[in-house]
Structure formats: structure tokens, C-alpha cells
Amino acid sequence: MWAIVEISGNQYEVHPNQKMLVPKLNAEIGEDIEFDKILLYNDEQENRIGVPYIDGKVKAKVLGAYKDKKILIFHKIRRKGHRKLNGHRQNYTSIEITDIQVN
């Protein structure tokens, strides 16, 4: 059994008991959260495709919050002596999919 779910504007293929990183969610560590935007569901016998979504829920548990490695962005304008260095670290939330329920 698996499903394709929309989480924070991104689509993910999820399976029960799967651990994954998603963009930062406003949830506390240990909190149970639900996602209701299921785009596709497969249970080994049939595929169900949502128009645009399927009625159901994907339940998950928040495991922690993490930051990705720093990405450095270098800007330079040639022959002008202009140089600028910017950095960015993306925030992620680690979740574990506990259950997929489809009506």
C-alpha cells in the first residue's frame, strides 16, 4: 500500500512506517499530524486517482527538525570589483508515516 500526498506544496510517495524529510512544518516534536491531500492511492489491487484529491488521511508523527548543509551563492560583476557572498540553510522536518486511510 502506498500513496502520493501533497505536503507543503510538494508531492511525495509515502509508504507506512517510512521516515522522510519534508519542508519545515509548524508542529512540535512527538506531535501527530494528518495530511488530507491524497493525489493517488494504490493498495496492490487497484489504483485510485483523485480529481483533484481522494477522500482520506495520511497520519504521521513528527520526529525532529533539521537544517540542511549551507549552500554558498557567489555574485560577481566582472571588471567592476563587485563581489558578494550569500549563504542559505534550508529547514526540514523529519516525519514518520504511521497510517494511510482512504474512504
Query: For residue range 42-91, what is the model confidence (pLDDT) as tens digits?
Result: 998 999 999 999 999 999 999 999 999 999 999 999 999 999 999 999 99
Residue 12: Cβ within 10 Å count:
19
**Confidence grade of residue 11 (pLDDT, cut at 50, 70, 90):** very high
- Where are the domains positioned within the chain? 2-102
Q: What are phi and psi of 55, to 5 degrees?
A: -75, 115
Rounded-to-integer distance, Cα 63 and Cα 82, Å: 43
The residues facing 21 across adjacent strands are 94
Residue type at 93 in one-letter notation: T
**Confidence grade of residue 15 (pLDDT, cut at 50, 70, 90):** very high
What pLDDT is attached to residue 57? 97
**Confidence grade of residue 9 (pLDDT, cut at 50, 70, 90):** very high
